[in-house]
Amino acid sequence: MRTCDFCGRTEEDDAATLAWSTSVERGRRQTYCDTCSRENLRSMEGKLDSDFW
* Residue extents of the structural domains in the chain: 2-47
- Model confidence at 46, in pLDDT bands (50, 70, 90)? confident
- Alpha-carbon dihedral angle through residues 41, 15, 31, 4, given to the nearest 10 degrees: 90
In tens, the pLDDT along 16-29 reads 899 999 988 889 99
CA angle 23-28-30, nearest 5°?
Answer: 40
| Global confidence as pTM | 0.75
| Residue among 3, 4, 1 at smallest CA distance from 39 | 4
Given a cut of 90, is residue 31 above it in pLDDT?
yes
Q: What does each C-alpha distance from 28 to 23, 31, 33, 49 come to in angstroms? A: 8, 10, 17, 12
